[in-house]
Amino acid sequence: MQMKPLVGVTADRTMMGPLPSHVAGEKYLAAVVDGAQALAMLLPALGDRQAPDDLFAHIDGLLFTGSYSNVEPHRYGGHASAPGTLHDAARDATTLPLMRAAIDAGIPVLAICRGFQEMNVVFGGTLHQSVQTVDGYDDHRENKEDDLDVQYGPSHALHLMQGGLLQKLAGGASEVRVNSLHGQGVERLGDGLTVEAHAPDGLIEAISVTHARAFTLGVQWHPEWKHASDTLSTAIFRAFGTACRERMRMRTGSAAAASAHV
């Protein structure tokens, strides 16, 4: 029986009644299992109580999920958030150091929505906290009163950078359509990041790490939603899964070689 790679999926810390709990949306887990053809493992937001090196000995990829919470602005030198803004300090303390360590270690990374914003912050970039209030940008938020299929339906065009990773995954297309469910967005691009795509208003919608050792892609939209029915979404998860399988071969091969010399 062929082994499958193991992908860690980041969790939000939230309260369920009086108890702190760690959760991730099923759509992310299902996209890893069905789209990347991998096993999915939930990673709790426990900060430095779980060492990256211990984790990396067992996993073959990391998926950084979207979230209703925003990255705390002190993480990138931003001004205080508007009253009522949802934050998740435990997630920030977990995902920000974990992402950088994973990329440096050559772990495949796919970062979606909040994960995309985390990637920019990790590399020293900054965020617009409310894109819709910034002159020149459109309102990229969904209407929460719409049905989910409408919220996650195609919302705007995406202009792909010529010769980029994302354009290759899109079969060479210069433009596709994606959904849009976010209030935050990239303000200043982080150092060492490559822009992969823009929205029509110029907002950066996809990035990669210029000199990453393995597959590393951040996207502002939600390719996990009905991934199998969208050509680009299918290609993104397939490429992520392929990179995770290569990582698994390297990891298990090294382990087997080490045990053979004991």
- Each residue of 18-30: pLDDT tens digit? 999 999 999 999 9
Instruction: Examine the pLDDT at 260 and tell me if it is beyond 90.
Output: no
Instruction: Examine the pLDDT at 231 and tell me if it is beyond 90.
Output: yes
Which residues are registered as beta bridge partners of 109? 62, 216
Instruction: Examine the pLDDT at 259 and tell me if it is beyond 50.
Output: no
Angle, helices 89-104 vs 114-122, to 10°: value is 60
CA 91 to centroid of chain Cα atoms:
13
Give the pair of three-digit tokens for residue 32: 């890893």
Is residue 196 annotated as part of the catalytic site, yes or no? no
Between CA 56 and CA 102 the distance in angstroms is 8
> What are the backbone dihedrals phi and psi of residue 190, each rounded to the nearest 5 degrees, phi first?
-70, 155
pLDDT at residue number 257: 40
Mean pLDDT of 190-202: 98
1 pLDDT tier (thresholds 50, 70, 90): low
Tell me which of 68-82, 121-135, 167-181, 246-260 is least confident. 246-260
Instruction: Examine the pLDDT at 39 and tell me if it is beyond 50.
Output: yes
pLDDT tens string 51-91:
999 999 999 999 999 999 999 999 999 999 999 999 999 99
Is residue 145 annotated as part of the catalytic site, yes or no? no
pLDDT at residue number 240: 98
Give the pair of three-digit tokens for residue 248: 């698994």
pLDDT tens string 28-37:
999 999 999 9
pLDDT at residue number 155: 96
pLDDT at residue number 2: 80
CB count within 10 Å of CB 232 equals 22
- The model carries a pTM of 0.95
Which residues are registered as beta bridge partners of 209? 193
pLDDT at residue number 97: 97
Annotated catalytic residue, options 140, 182, 224, 227: 224
**Residue 137, CA distances (Å) to 17, 116, 165, 187 in order:** 39, 18, 25, 11
Is residue 113 annotated as part of the catalytic site, yes or no? yes
CB of 204 closer than 8 Å to CB of 198: yes
Mean of the per-residue pLDDT values of the chain: 95
Q: Percent of the chain scored above 70 by pLDDT? A: 96
Between CA 190 and CA 183 the distance in angstroms is 19
> What are the backbone dihedrals phi and psi of residue 57, each rounded to the nearest 5 degrees, phi first?
-70, -15
**Which one, of 44, 40, 47, 35, lies nearest residue 63 by Cα?**
40
pLDDT at residue number 254: 56
Which residues are registered as beta bridge partners of 7? 40, 61
pLDDT at residue number 256: 46
Instruction: Examine the pLDDT at 135 and tell me if it is beyond 70.
Output: yes
Annotated catalytic residue, options 113, 140, 205, 244: 113
